[in-house]
Structure 1
Amino acid sequence: MNTLINEQLTHLLSLYDLERPVATFLRHNENRTYRVQDGSGKKYLLRIHDPFVPDMAGLQHRFEGIAAELDMLEHWGRWNEREVQIPVRNGQGGLVTTFESSGKKVHASLLTWLEGRDLIKNDLPCENTVRGLGEQLANLHAFFDQYEPAGIEARPHQGKAYNVKMAGVIRSGVGQGLFAEEDADTIEQTLDLVNRRLGDADGDEGPGLIHGDIGLGNTILTEDGGVRLIDFGFYGRGYALTDTAMAVMMLPADWRERFLDVYFGNRRRTENELRQIDGFMLVAIIGYYVFHFGNAAMHDWMRGRMPMLCREYCRPFLAGEPMLERIGF
């Protein structure tokens, strides 16, 4: 960090009621993030909502979108009996803090720190961890079912319209030499089948609220062995089974049924729900390509992987084969 950035951080942190805070840079991806520790030993997560690749910027980086996410997290913290990350209001009582950097306005937010580490693959062939993940996701969705969202129109969504948009993005990659025409056709057919299986009852944005970006890097294993979901940057409208499918893909194939047992509880999942999970697993993978579409450093990876995605997963899905145990861990 250069002197200017240090001065900005000092000023930014002075806007919160913290005792001699010290910031340590963590990473710069969707946001710039810092671990902050104050003189009393309390720790926080500072997020500066300024993505590393400008094309990654979306509704979730705008003032209204950030405020909507933080309102949800504040209610999530009050509702939850377990420790979760909750927003810290600044000295003016605001959830979002805006400052100027390089001649433009940038937004920041401060969250309480959740002690633990990112989940890794080796953690997951474990009953306690799989159970914890299923319980945490079921708990989150139970909260979403009763939460009245504020400013949800300012958040991204992952409903049927999102799937149509993704098909268009992949199609545009044909002219750029990223994808073959037949692979773009396969992706479009895959997303069309996903949408047809969802029916016409829930509109284009989806019927409920979702985390929207569940993965190993957004899941914390706490010091006492608990599992917590973090990073709600893609929180918005969608289908709950989108989250479920993302969680499924974190697990080895022979643990996925166990996770679903915990997540669904006493309710038996239907065949239609399983087929929707199949589709949402592929939606999540395609979404990864679309999210990185503007990142030229990822283009060679996309060129090499897209034919395999279509051959190994999308075409069998279109042929009616179940995906629950097929898609790799």
Structure 2
Amino acid sequence: MREDTMVEILCGYGIQEPQLQFLRHNENRTYEVIDSATGEHYLFRVHQPLTRNFEGLQQTDKGLLTELQLLEELGQRSELIAQKPVWHGSGNLLTHIEHEGKRIPSSLLTWVEGAVFRKETCESDPVIARELGAHIASLHRFFRSYHPQFDFDSRPSQGIERNSLMIAQIHRGVEQGLFGEEEFRCVEQTIGLVNSRLESLGKSEETYGIIHGDLNMSNIILTPEGEICFIDFGLCGSGYYLFDVGMGTLVVPPEQRLDFLAGYYGDSGDVPDTVRVLLEGWMLIAVLGYYAFQMENQAVHPWIRERMPGFCTNLCRPYLSGERVMERFKV
């Protein structure tokens, strides 16, 4: 993709002599942008997924506009720190790049300075685990009060249908020789058990709504002032709130997971066993979701080949047999 094309678009946002620094390419191409005149930093996203497993409703114009409008409301109506969408001089939130015969959408967000959340973050300051839980609870309160302009059917969803789709994506690992049929059957049974429990749970205002959908470590930032900020709402959509809680539980050390849950639930963190079973299921789904997303990314294949047997032995099989596994997940 030509840099001069991107520079031309960025100038349309009023950025003078923009400097671009490539960051990564997963579901989007992302760049840090510096305005040479003001020194302001921005995040420029070209919504072109790396592999087909990253494709989805979130890259359509309607899906992207739904995300951008949510971010604008989050910045205006909550106390949470959030990246804000930047309007183009044409009066649009989205711009488009012509590349290899395709019209690819792009967007610009404000930059949040800070460090990515790490295991060491909690080890050096145990209070952070509880604060993280409280921040996710605040995010969910905002989501419950938010009334989007567009229906969230234009966004990804996290639930039974998505979990079932992952089964076919993960089977590609068998076809590519990353793991065997035995591991795949174990994964399939695990997803099936989680789905059966979700069917019993059903959907209600308390259990299901708008969620972030991707609260891994790289999407949680600690600002220089020590504030927590959630970034990358690219997979934000409808889903079970426990999916966000499960991902949050995964990023803190095992010995601080009750503190995290106390921050979210506002009590001792000793959640009922029925909730804990569902939470552990979503923790498993979060890890399997990463495998599914990366199944066509050859750079990650050695990691999957190494990890899948142990994941089945140490987590999936015990979960299937009724054991509690929350503390067995490593950060």
Cα offset for 1:85?
A: 0.6
Q: What amino acid does structure 2 have at the position aligned with 1:30?
A: E
AA in 2 matched with 1:67: L
Give the equivalent residue in structure 1 for 2:31.
34
Partner residue, 2:265? 264
Per the alignment, residue 192 of structure 2 pairs with 192
How far apart are 1:172 and its partner, in Å?
4.3
Residues 131-178 of structure 1, C-alpha deviation per residue, up to 9 Å, x if partnerless? Answer: 331122111111111112324112111101111111232234334433
Say if 1:159 and 1:55 are closer, same or farther in 2 by CA, change over 3 A: closer
CA deviations over 1:98-126 (Å, ceiling 9, x no partner): 12123321111111111112122211222
Residue equivalent to 1:161: 161
Q: Is the 8 A contact 1:65 1:151 kept in 2?
A: no
TM-superposed deviation, 1:58: 2.2
Give the aligned partner of residue 303 of structure 1.
305
Structure 1 partner of 2:214: 213
Q: 2:77 maps to which residue? A: 79
Aligned mates of 2:69, 2:136 — CA distance in 1: 19
| SS across alignment from 1:220 | strand
**Contact 2:131/2:260 (CA < 8 Å) preserved in 1?**
no
Stretches of structure 1 lacking an aligned partner (at least 5 in a row): none
- Aligned in 2, Cα 1:266/1:55: closer, same or farther, shift over 3 Å? closer
Question: Whole-Å Cα distance in 2 between the matches of residues 257 and 184 of structure 1?
Answer: 31
Summarize the Cα distance change of 1:165–1:29 in structure 2 as closer, same or farther, 3 Å threshold. Answer: closer
**What is residue 63 of structure 1 aligned with on the other side?**
61
Counterpart code for 1:75: E
TM superposition shift of 1:270: 2.5
Q: Structure 2 matches for 1:78-227, cutoff 5 A?
A: 78-125=76-123, 126-149=125-148, 150-200=150-200, 201-202=202-203, 207-227=208-228
Per-residue deviation, 1:54: 4.8
- Aligned letter for 1:119? F
- Residue 22 of structure 2 corresponds to 25
Asked whether the equivalents of residues 158 and 236 of structure 1 are also in contact (C-alpha less than 8 Å), the reply is yes
Distance apart, 1:180 and its partner CA: 1.7
Unaligned runs of 5+ in 2: none
Q: CA RMSD in A?
A: 2.0
* Counterpart in the other structure of 2:287: 285
Distance 1:210 1:96 in 2: 22
- TM score, norm. by length of structure 2: 0.91
Q: CA deviation at 1:23?
A: 2.6
SS in 2 for 1:124: helix
Distance of 2:25 and 2:193 partners within structure 1: 36
Aligned identity (percent) is 41
Q: Which secondary structure state, in structure 2, belongs to the residue aligned with residue 199 of structure 1?
A: helix
Match of 1:314 in 2: 316
Residues 32-70 of structure 1: per-residue CA shift (max 9 Å, x gap) = 222222222322111111223354222222222211111
Letter in 2 for 1:283: I
Structure 1 residues 24 and 175: alpha-carbon distance in aligned structure 2, compared to 1, 3 A threshold: closer
In the superposition, the TM-score normalised over structure 1's length comes to: 0.92
Q: Which residue of 2 aligns with 1:52?
A: 50
* Structure 2 counterpart SS, 1:87: coil
Contact 1:170 1:179 survives alignment (8 Å) = no
Once the 2 structures are TM-superposed, how far is the Cα of residue 226 of structure 1 from its aligned partner? 1.0
